[in-house]
Copies of this chain bind each other. A is one copy, B any other.
Amino acid sequence: MFTIGNAFRLTIFGSSHDQYIGGIIDGLPAGTFVDSGYIQKWLDRRKPGINEMTTQRKEDDKIEIIAGVKNNYTDGSPLTFLFNNGDIINKHYDFIRDNPRPGHADITMFYKYGEYRNYEGGGFFSGRMTLPLVAAGAIAMKILKDHGITIVSYIKSAGSVEVNNEQIFDEDFVYNYGSRIPDAKADESLHNVIMNSIKEGDSLGGKIKTVVYNMPKGVGEPFFNSVESEISRAMFSIPGLKGIEFGAGFNFSKMRGSEANDEFYIDNEDIKTKTNNSGGILGGITNGMPIEFNIVMKPTSSIRKKQDTVNLKTMENSEIQVVGRHDPFITLRAVPVVQTTTAMVLLDLIMSNSSKNKW
């Protein structure tokens, strides 16, 4: 099903070469203020063509809310929105229909949907399908923000470039850096790596860090709706995302309990932990420390370099060079997607919080 969430429930529809992509949010109570400008700001941050490091494809990412909102307030019915895909040119896709791109969903679309597959421009497997995620996430982020919660995402590393900046950022700070790595020197290095990658017709992967400040305590449910379960489920719906780790994450495999455990202390009549290896989550539930997690994006699969593939009709070996204007470093544009999607999941968890149901 194309639906995620319990109390705040998003359904997405459309495809990259359909006329529209859109989404429906069911569950927002009547009287929620909807700030279109704020939503558009986030949509613009994932837009192609932001700078020379992204694809130069032109896309109209203007949100059109067609139902559920009157005079900027929700009315209790599903908030429905569209993105017009504009002029669609399908001519590039005849070759791809029969010669799947390595690393791309072309082949699994073929396995799953056979002759009826929607293959043009990646169909509904396109990265453009993250538009409704960002729209819904921005709506959630605004609500969280109004309650004092801040969600920060930025690139932590890509290739051999790593961020070196220990400051606490706000949700906007990283967008001052062209490559979304909030460190002037690393930004310059990464810029060079990306521009080089474009020249070579290749692409690169990257790691994104997310930190959430000021989360209420006691949010998340034991087991199947743990904070980690819900965040990871949503994250893995982002095309190209292949790993997630919370707190110390994979480093835990080299740690001992005495290092890994976050010891408690009293700070200003509040309980804090000295370290935050658990990433703000214990037993799947928030403990009031910042939520911290990293995700990894694989390199864009569409590259200009020649690659081996097969022809699905003749079932013979074949070759492909992917033409078109593709992102050399999709991680850059994934930053606001990860950031807003995190907001969506957290708002859903807060709205569904089982310990608040008491009547």
Contacts and interface: CB of A to CB of B under 8 A. Distances in A.
Contacts of A241: 228
A269 to B, nearest CB: 6
Interface stretch (A50-58, A166-174, A181-189, A255-263): A255-263
B243 A249 contact: yes
Interface in A160-202: 160, 197, 202
Interface stretch (A1-9, A36-44, A332-340): A1-9
A347 B351 CA distance: 18
Contacts of A274: 308
Interface in A38-95: 66-68, 70, 73-78, 80, 82
* Number of chain copies forming the complex: 4
Contact of A299 (B1, B113, B255, B316): B255
A112 B218 contact: yes
A217 B106 CA distance: 13
A252 B296 contact: yes
A315 B77 contact: no
A273 B107 CA distance: 11
B26 A24 contact: no
Nearest to A273: B102
Contact of A263 (B108, B242, B307): B307
A242 B228 contact: yes
Contacts of A243: 243-246, 249-250, 252
A118 interface: yes
Nearest to A107: B287
A290 interface: no
A113 B75 contact: yes
Given A9-B1, A118-B76, A285-B112, A263 B102 contact: yes
A308 B245 CA distance: 26
B111 A296 contact: no
A256 to B, nearest CB: 5
A206 interface: yes
A305 B256 CA distance: 11
Contacts of A116: 30-31, 70, 73-76
Interface in A113-131: 113-118, 123-125, 129
Given A30-B116, A203-B258, 12 more contacts: A14-B77, A18-B67, A20-B80, A101-B261, A108-B283, A111-B217, A160-B254, A205-B255, A224-B237, A243-B243, A243-B244, A257-B303
28 contacts: A1-B225, A2-B26, A2-B77, A3-B224, A7-B357, A13-B68, A15-B67, A19-B67, A29-B357, A30-B113, A76-B113, A77-B123, A102-B262, A103-B277, A105-B283, A108-B281, A108-B287, A124-B222, A125-B222, A143-B359, A159-B253, A204-B257, A205-B256, A206-B253, A223-B237, A229-B233, A245-B296, A261-B299
